[in-house]
Amino acid sequence: MKIDVDKKGLSLTAIILAGGKSSRIGSDKNKSLLKLKGEYLIDIVRSRLKCVVGNNIIIVGPPEKYPSYKQVVPDLFPQKGPLIGIYSGLKTSPSQYNLVVGCDMPFLEVKLLKYMVENINFNDIVVPRYGDGYIEPLCAIYSRRCLDAIERNLAKRNFSVRAIFPHLKVKFIENEEIRRYDPKFYSFFNINYKKDLIEAEKIINSRKERKN
């Protein structure tokens, strides 16, 4: 069931960063248009996000690559990294809070995403921190209040997403919290290389075997 964030006085939009190329996989397609088990990666990601935000989804990427999708906005500064994608999405979004994910994350756990939403509590950023303190900034919630900090860093040509954190109120979702909903941290599995696609297929097959 979708969380009714409006009842909490919040609005929520999802932003999919889909401007990256798939050159490391050996393809000339945008990464989001690679197929996993016959389904585009971007459609797998969208189907999970819809369980959280309904149809309030913005895709940040080249509009000409996504003619069949309703709300697509270009990177304001293409090929400058994910911070620009986050910035472009936040500038366009009608919502105060925005769930930002990469287009190549096929195993996003809906229950974990909903838990992150429940922990907004007027924070500027809600972001997972797991393992030995690794932060996953591309499966996180960002307030539009982040825009000023991003603009200041962009003016200094600092394109690191994590570099905006010290200037904002950040809520970290820690190991123990993540494990309740995603014991194997599959939500943060992303596809950069051909071997990752193969591994993703193995994960899907193993899940089917367990269900049977």
Query: What is the identity of the amino acid at 143?
Result: S
**63 touches 119 (CB < 8 A):** no
pLDDT at 77: 84
Q: Give, for all 212 residues of the chain, the pLDDT tens digit.
A: 334 444 445 689 999 999 866 555 656 667 899 999 999 999 999 999 999 999 999 999 999 999 999 899 999 887 789 999 999 999 999 999 999 999 999 999 999 999 999 999 999 999 999 999 999 999 999 999 999 999 999 999 999 999 999 999 999 999 999 999 999 999 999 998 889 999 999 999 988 777 65
Q: At 139, phi and psi to the nearest 5?
A: -145, 70
d(CA 115, CA 187): 13
Q: At 77, phi and psi to the nearest 5?
A: -135, 90
Largest CA distance in the chain: 54
d(CA 63, CA 203): 31
Query: What is the identity of the amino acid at 132?
Result: D
Task: Report DSSP state, residue 162.
Answer: G
pLDDT at 2: 39
Quote the distance between the C-alpha of residue 93 and its chain's center: 14
The pTM of this model reads 0.91
pLDDT at 112: 98
Residue that is written with structure tokens 């809600």 in the block? 126
Q: Are strands 12-17 and 97-102 parallel, antiparallel or unpaired?
A: parallel
